[in-house]
């Protein structure tokens, strides 16, 4: 059981079309704590019928919601924001229990997730159209911005709350409705959010949280013509599949997919700052974020100093249950995730990698893995091409800006990049040369609601957060009025 101040925030029912429901056939799936293996509870296994119902109710509710003023919609989003923050401790505890991240990180995610509600509560009031100087006598030309309509979202387990508000926030702010399929590893965070949305006064049917069989739910979301937009955060292979499935009904689509972030330590970097930044970027959420440093490139002139300082810090990071004070690295989400890291380490060592610290499953057992640093890494290794999604850092040596830019960009992905340098010419050369949607300069983490998040190449389509994040939920309508006596 999860110890909560408000136990009513823990529900084992799904939220479909404004009602709390079980599966019609009573089918459920267990949810486990990745740190202990303990069964936290179950959630209903729903399928196409539930999604179709949620979409039908959403369609009706959205027609009324879009007629409300932006100010009215904003007030409800702000009330939801307030309730999320008032219940931050409980929402964090639910997340740590089902996802594993340390409690401080989980509570941090609640604040990050809530910031999207706060941001888009305001942005929704600034969805301006245009009046355009006319092209002909007797005519007037204008542009209206209108909500897309019923949207669907499929979200991952690594940020179980923020990945929903980063989508539902803008959608609801501009007058859309949102049907969400959360990851079955972390459904309780999504359901707790819906409880608070209901308490905030969000009209029934505008938000649904449909737990259940991913392929079936995804099929209804992508094939139902009433769904006008699909937004997905998760792996690139699944993103490709969903993109194909949306083609027959020509849906708008937003995809936040996989990454393979280069983290570059230049010869003129502040090494201590670079060590701190690389720790933050690589080991946040035990390395389970799509913007984690995945390949660390270190200039030959500072390679030994950086490697020694970095490995020493990494070796000190406490590993354990996210509820324990001081724990920095929690468990990976499941055995499959641990095996992936284990295989990448073995591959790296077989190709000349030298383990500086870690390299094995943690003595705690289960899905804990030692924070790992591997020196002498090279581009022949699997980790050069494949996202680790775990606490393993390969250090690759480079000798020039041109060489490291070529290696950094040698990837099908282009989500985030990072580099440390104090030379203004080099900063501009690398910031403009790196092929990624996010570039961190002398920073290791840059998550914020005020800036656009999204990838180049096969890391995705569209942007979330910032003023750009609202456009994906709007249609642009050109209105031409004739017959005017000028």
Chain contacts with ligand NAI (rule: CB under 6 A):
154-158, 181, 183-184, 214-215, 218, 233-235, 238, 241, 256-259, 290, 387, 389, 415, 460
447 interacts with, out of ligand NAI, ligand LO4QSZO4, none, CB within 5 to 8 A per kind? ligand LO4QSZO4
Active site residue 386: no
235 interacts with, out of ligand LO4QSZO4, ligand NAI, none, CB within 5 to 8 A per kind? ligand NAI
Distance (Å, rounded) from C-alpha 15 to C-alpha 211? 9
- From the candidates 98, 256, 435, 464, give the one annotated as an active-site residue: 256
238 interacts with, out of ligand NAI, ligand LO4QSZO4, none, CB within 5 to 8 A per kind? ligand NAI
Distance (Å, rounded) from C-alpha 287 to C-alpha 390? 4
**Does residue 158 bind ligand LO4QSZO4 (CB under 6 A)?**
yes
C-alpha 27 chain-centroid distance: 29
CB of 117 to ligand LO4QSZO4, least distance (A): 15
CB of 410 to ligand NAI, least distance (A): 18
- Residue 198 DSSP one-character state: H
CB of 450 to ligand LO4QSZO4, least distance (A): 12
Name the segment binding ligand LO4QSZO4 (CB under 6 A); options: 33-41, 73-81, 207-215, 288-296: 288-296
215 interacts with, out of ligand LO4QSZO4, ligand NAI, none, CB within 5 to 8 A per kind? ligand NAI
Q: Which is nearer to ligand LO4QSZO4, 148 or 291 (CB)?
A: 291
Residue linked to tokens 């979409």: 55
Phi-psi region of 386 (alpha: psi -120 to 50; beta: other; left: phi over 0): beta
> Mind giving me the DSSP string for 74-112?
HHHHHHHHHHHHHTHHHHHHHHHHHH---HHHHHHHHHH
Distance (Å, rounded) from C-alpha 115 to C-alpha 104? 17
**Does residue 154 bind ligand LO4QSZO4 (CB under 6 A)?**
no
**Does residue 260 bind ligand LO4QSZO4 (CB under 6 A)?**
no
Distance (Å, rounded) from C-alpha 175 to C-alpha 232? 19
| Residue selected from 15, 80, 116, 159 as contacting ligand LO4QSZO4 according to rule CB under 6 A | 159
Q: Show Cβ contacts of residue 207 under 8 Å, excluding neighbours closer than 6 positions.
A: 15, 168, 172, 177, 178, 179, 180, 194, 197
Half-sphere exposure of 101 (CA within 13 A, CB side): 28
Question: Which residues of this protein are in contact with ligand LO4QSZO4, per CB under 6 A?
Answer: 158-159, 163, 233, 289-291, 447, 453
Residues annotated as catalytic (active site), given as ranges? 256
């Amino acid at each position: 059981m999860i110890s909560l101040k408000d136990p009513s925030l823990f529900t084992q029912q799904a939220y479909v079309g404004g009602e709390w429901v079980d599966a019609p056939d009573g089918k459920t799936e267990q949810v486990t704590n990745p740190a202990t293996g303990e069964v936290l509870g179950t959630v209903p296994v729903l399928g196409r019928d539930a999604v179709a119902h949620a979409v039908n109710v959403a369609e009706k509710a959205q027609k009324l919601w879009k007629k409300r003023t932006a100010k009215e919609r904003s007030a409800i989003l702000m009330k939801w924001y307030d309730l999320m923050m008032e219940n931050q401790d409980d929402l964090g505890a639910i997340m740590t229990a089902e996802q594993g991240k340390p409690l401080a990180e989980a509570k941090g995610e609640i604040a990050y997730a809530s910031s999207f509600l706060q941001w888009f509560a305001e942005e929704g009031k600034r969805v301006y159209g245009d009046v355009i100087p006319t092209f002909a006598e007797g005519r007037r030309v204008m542009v209206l911005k209108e909500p897309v309509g019923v949207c669907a979202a499929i979200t991952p387990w690594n940020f179980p709350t923020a990945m929903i508000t980063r989508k539902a926030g803008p959608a609801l702010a501009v007058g859309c409705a949102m049907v969400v399929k959360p990851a079955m590893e972390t459904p309780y965070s999504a359901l707790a959010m819906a409880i608070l949305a209901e308490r905030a006064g969000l009209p029934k049917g505008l938000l649904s949280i449909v737990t259940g069989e991913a392929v079936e739910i995804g099929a209804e979301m992508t094939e139902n013509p009433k769904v006008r937009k699909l937004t997905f955060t998760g792996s690139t292979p699944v993103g490709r599949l969903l993109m194909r499935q949306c083609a027959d009904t020509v849906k708008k689509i937003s995809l936040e997919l996989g990454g393979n972030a280069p983290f570059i330590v230049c010869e003129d970097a502040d090494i201590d700052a670079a060590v701190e930044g690389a720790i933050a970027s690589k080991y946040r959420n035990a390395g389970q974020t799509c913007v984690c440093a995945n390949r660390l490139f270190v200039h030959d002139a500072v390679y030994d100093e950086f490697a020694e300082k970095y490995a020493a810090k990494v070796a000190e990071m406490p590993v354990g249950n996210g509820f324990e004070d001081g724990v920095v690295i929690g468990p990976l989400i499941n055995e499959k995730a641990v095996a992936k890291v284990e295989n990448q380490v073995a591959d790296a060592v077989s190709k000349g990698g030298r383990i500086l610290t870690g390299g094995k499953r943690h003595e705690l057992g289960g899905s804990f893995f030692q924070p790992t640093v591997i020196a002498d890494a090279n581009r022949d290794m699997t980790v050069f091409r494949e996202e680790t999604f775990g606490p393993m850092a390969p250090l690759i040596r480079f000798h020039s800006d041109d060489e490291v830019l070529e290696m950094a960009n040698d990837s099908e992905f282009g989500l985030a990049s990072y580099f440390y340098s104090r030379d203004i010419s080099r900063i501009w050369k690398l910031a403009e040369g790196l092929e990624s949607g996010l570039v961190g300069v002398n920073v290791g983490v840059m998550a914020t609601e005020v800036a656009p998040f999204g990838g180049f190449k096969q890391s995705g389509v569209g942007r979330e957060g910032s003023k750009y994040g609202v456009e994906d939920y709007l249609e642009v309508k050109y209105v031409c009025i004739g017959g005017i006596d000028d």
